[in-house]
Amino acid sequence: MDDSDTSAILAEDLESSDSRRVCCCFKVPESRRPPPCSCPFSVTVEPVMFLSMFSIVLQWPLSTQYLWDRISEDVGYNGTKGGGGCNASTVDDPLQKEVETLTAQWNLYINMGGFLVGLIMVTLLGSWSDRAGRRLVLIIPSLGLAVQASVYLIVMYLKLPVFWFLIGRIFSGLSGDFNAILAGCFAYVADTSGRGSRTFRVAILEACLGVAGIFASVIGGHWRRAQGYINPFWLVLATNLAAALYAYLFVPETVTPDPEARFLSTRHHRAIFHLYSSDAPQGRRAKLWLYTICFFLVVFVHFGCSDLFVLYELSAPLCWGPELIGYGSAAKNLAYLTSLMGLRAMQCCMKDSWVALVGLTSNIVGLIAISFANSTALMFTGYGLSFLFMASTPVLRSKLSKLVDPLEQGALFASVACVEGLCSLLSSVVFNSLYPATLYFMKGFPFIFGAIILLISAVIIGGLGCQEEREGGENREGSVIS
């Protein structure tokens, strides 16, 4: 898609937004200060999303590998000395299984600590942005992620116990973590997009996640092999600081900041409660809950499986080294781009609900292939079959956004971010506990478990899609009769 197409989409968004949105978002009052600089390109929050995701994907596999190496050193396991994840001939090595178990457990503790704190903070930050402005919800979490990277660097320099990784994760959670950035970015897109193009605009934003993931995955593996862990984490720190600086300098505000807006207020939680308890217009509440449940199930599987991919690849029988782990992560993140292109193509001939079902089918088939992967070729085949796995989440975000009033977008995406935080916590608990528990009878069982959960979500989306088709047909019929 070239620059002219992007400009046309943005122009369509401005024209198609309803009068209330135009009034509250695009008519800039005198009290709203423009950013210090203007961006020369037709982008707004996309660079913030790109930089933040780049730092997350760069540090995620590296921190798992660092935990693996530190724990291996502590227990006396030397299976990584040859440069790979393990020695393929030691499939039943008890020390390897101990390292796998301890690494999975520490991943669980670190994620649980961060997400428990972040779950509370992201709810406050997201709803607070309706009154205080969107830019703050982009800047604060970016600085928190920078603090986390700083703590990780100190741990590596001083070889402190891995317990300090948990402390760094909690600092990030106190700022809202990456979920707060997601909430701010998607609320911003909802502020500046029309109903007709919202799904594709959300998909573009999610494609930024994939592009950042591809670059970070390829760079991370080679860099770690050449220079170890410390230098890549300096880049993680720099990208988070750059994201905060960009949001401050270039992102225009879409909300008129209220100087009396209080951060610590029950108002934010009441707004979310009203959102999910009100049934006006009639039938909205049931759809809002069902689509939220579907979103929860899909993201639950995405987070849970992502937690295990690196660990699955490090151990026998795959025994991947840093380069292959980087290529595998890049292949998985390439699906963000292929999903964007597939979504755009499928929207020409089918409704959004059926696009989501195609994406879920791709994800299910890919996970089943990965669960039986005993070779590098089969593992990459699983990644290839999942080439549309990200087509479902933009549809779900867009459908949720269209169900609420334009002035409720902040509260909605605060709740969606809260759901994502809950997904991250529960998926980390479930999948990191399930993996060591099933190592002895089927190593890939967690991926089969994820495919079953996605099937439940597909049934719900299919049912809602059929209901919307019937409602649309009845409305058209009523219009013709009248």
Q: In which element (H, E) is residue 158 found?
A: helix 135-158
For position 33, what pLDDT does the model report? 66
| Structural domain contains residue 221 | yes
| Structural domain contains residue 263 | no
pLDDT digits (tens, 9 = 90+) for 160-216: 888 899 999 999 999 988 888 988 888 888 888 777 778 888 888 888 887 887 788
Residue among 209, 176, 123 nearest 390 (CA): 209
Concatenate the DSSP letters of all residues of 201-236 into one string: HHHHHHHHHHHHHHHHHHHHHHHHHHH-SHHHHHHH
**Could you tell me the sign of the dihedral formed by the alpha carbons of 391, 12, 45, 265, in that order?**
negative
pLDDT digits (tens, 9 = 90+) for 272-287: 777 888 777 777 888 9
pLDDT at 244 over 90: yes
For position 253, what pLDDT does the model report? 82
389-402 mean pLDDT: 91
416-441 mean pLDDT: 84
Cβ–Cβ under 8 Å, residues 193 and 45: no
**How many Å apart are CA 373 and CA 447, to the nearest integer?**
11
Q: What is the CATH number of the domain that holds 313?
A: 1.20.1250.20
Q: In which element (H, E) is residue 395 found?
A: helix 392-403
Q: Which two tokens stand for residue 447?
A: 């991926």
Confidence of residue 87 (pLDDT cuts 50, 70, 90): low
| Structural domain contains residue 228 | yes
pLDDT at 238 over 90: yes
Phi/psi-derived region of residue 263, left when phi > 0, alpha when psi is between -120 and 50, beta in every other case: alpha
For position 445, what pLDDT does the model report? 94
| Structural domain contains residue 379 | yes
Q: Look-up: residue for tokens 């050193």? A: 73
Q: Look-up: residue for tokens 């992007």? A: 6
**How many Å apart are CA 337 and CA 141, to the nearest integer?**
26
Confidence of residue 20 (pLDDT cuts 50, 70, 90): very low
For position 1, what pLDDT does the model report? 46
For position 388, what pLDDT does the model report? 93
Cβ–Cβ under 8 Å, residues 154 and 160: yes
pLDDT at 9 over 50: no
In which domain, by residue range, is 204 found?
A: 42-250+278-471
Mean pLDDT taken over the chain? 81
| Structural domain contains residue 355 | yes
| Structural domain contains residue 296 | yes
Q: Which two tokens stand for residue 139?
A: 């800047």
For position 364, what pLDDT does the model report? 96
Q: Which two tokens stand for residue 204?
A: 């573009």
DSSP 8-state code for residue 374: -
For position 194, what pLDDT does the model report? 75
Q: Which two tokens stand for residue 169?
A: 């994760």
Report the 10 Å Cβ neighbour count for 470.
10
pLDDT at 234 over 50: yes
Helix residue ranges, H only, 159-176: 163-174
Helices vs. strands in the chain: H and E counts, helices first:
17, 0
**How many Å apart are CA 158 and CA 42, to the nearest integer?**
44
Cβ–Cβ under 8 Å, residues 203 and 343: yes
Residues with Cβ < 8 Å from 247, sequence gap 6 or more? 45, 48, 135, 138, 139, 142
For position 317, what pLDDT does the model report? 87
pLDDT at 154 over 90: yes
**How many Å apart are CA 463 and CA 465, to the nearest integer?**
5
Question: What is the number of structural domains in the chain?
Answer: 1
Q: Which of 99-103, 150-154, 296-300 has the lowest mean pLDDT?
A: 99-103
| Structural domain contains residue 255 | no
How far are the Cα atoms of 38, 176, 210, 251 from residue 41, in angstroms, in the given order?
9, 28, 20, 12
**How many Å apart are CA 325 and CA 97, to the nearest integer?**
19
Confidence of residue 130 (pLDDT cuts 50, 70, 90): confident
| Structural domain contains residue 476 | no
pTM of the model: 0.74
Residue among 333, 323, 380 nearest 212 (CA): 333
**How many Å apart are CA 448 and CA 373, to the nearest integer?**
12
